[in-house]
Amino acid sequence: MGHFDLVVIGAGPAGIALVAEARAAGVPAERIAVVEKSDSHSFTIRKYYPQGKPVLANYKGIVARCEGVLCIPDLSREETLTYLDQAILDSGVPVRYREEVFRISSLPDGRLVVHTSREELTTHAVVIAIGILGRPNKLPAPVPRALSGVVRYDVTSEAMTGLDILVVGGGDTATEYAQYLCQEGNRVTLSYRGPDLSRPNPINRDSVLALEAQGKLRIVYLSNVKALAGREGRAEVTFDRSDLPPVAFDRIIVALGGTTPENFLKTAGIEFDGPAPRLTDGFATSVPGLYLAGDLTAGRSGGSIILAFNTAARAMRTICEVHGICALPRKP
């Protein structure tokens, strides 16, 4: 059994920022554990961001005003990962990769126990900093088993060029996927349930509208995927619009956002107000010593990387005040 002052679950931007904030507050590196179920940090950025895709500081209109140790301007995917690589190195805290958290329980003395696939970690404070895109929203229509390799939730798993591709969604991720796939020489259709593209930021909206005007992209508004059928290795899509005939695609890319891992949070004892976990201004949950950071604090729509950094800074300030694990930063 390992004993720590702070355990961080998730090595994405919020989790990495938590470590940076803790170290800046004087928490020794050996008193911090970071648990990540993937084999590398920032899984969401690596899986769902194609090469060269920008990571916007003010994503979804959230003002890029940094409150803590970490801060970035608009960067490319690769630049962002390099920045986070360096933040981990600078912290001196090794990430425990390929280690999954099964549950969190409480001890009579007020400490928490994080039960992982390797061991039990006791600690004064736990921050859950997992993202929501690890559990992407699915298509409304059932996906036949034969189409499991045709329907995808990212554009990084394989090289795609010269294909007929349907992108489902109308937010920033969907429009960025559409742009990338057009750039790679695919014939792209964007299906969105709304009447117009009001959700993406202006840059993405204007870019896909320009591609449509150039005849390089087809946008189908007010449409949902009603049914899927396999046709010689392709997916025949039936939309819920009577004026649209079934269309066959080589790939369907689903970009409908993600969902909060509600069951995991409730199993830990966290109380909810409707669909959202109940949180204080410092991101403390109803369970003493248990905090949230990053996308889990932003609701179903998710948030920016700056929001992830800022929630980590605020949560760490609360942890320092409540648990007394922080000290003045040590001089080199």
**Over the stretch 240-290, which tens digit does the pLDDT of each residue have?**
999 999 999 999 999 887 666 777 888 889 999 887 899 999 999 999 999
Structural domains of the chain, with CATH = 2-134+258-323 (3.50.50.60), 145-254 (3.50.50.60)
Q: What's the token pair of residue 218?
A: 């087809």
Q: Is the pLDDT of residue 331 over 50?
A: no
Angle of helix 13-24 versus helix 305-323 axis, rounded to 10 = 40
What pLDDT, on the 0 to 100 scale, is given for residue 65? 84
CA-CA-CA-CA torsion sign (70, 83, 55, 129): negative
CA-CA-CA-CA torsion sign (109, 110, 111, 113): positive
What's the mean per-residue pLDDT of the chain?
A: 88
What pLDDT, on the 0 to 100 scale, is given for residue 328? 56
- Find out whether 50 and 177 touch, Cβ atoms under 8 Å: yes
Q: Cβ of 268: how many Cβ atoms within 10 Å?
A: 21
Express as a percent the part of the chain with pLDDT over 90.
Answer: 59
Compute and round to an integer the Cα radius of gyration of the chain. 21
Residue 330: pLDDT band (50, 70, 90) is: very low
Q: pLDDT tens-digit profile of 197-227?
A: 988 888 889 999 999 999 999 999 999 999 9
Does the pTM of the predicted model rise above 0.85?
no
What pLDDT, on the 0 to 100 scale, is given for residue 45? 83
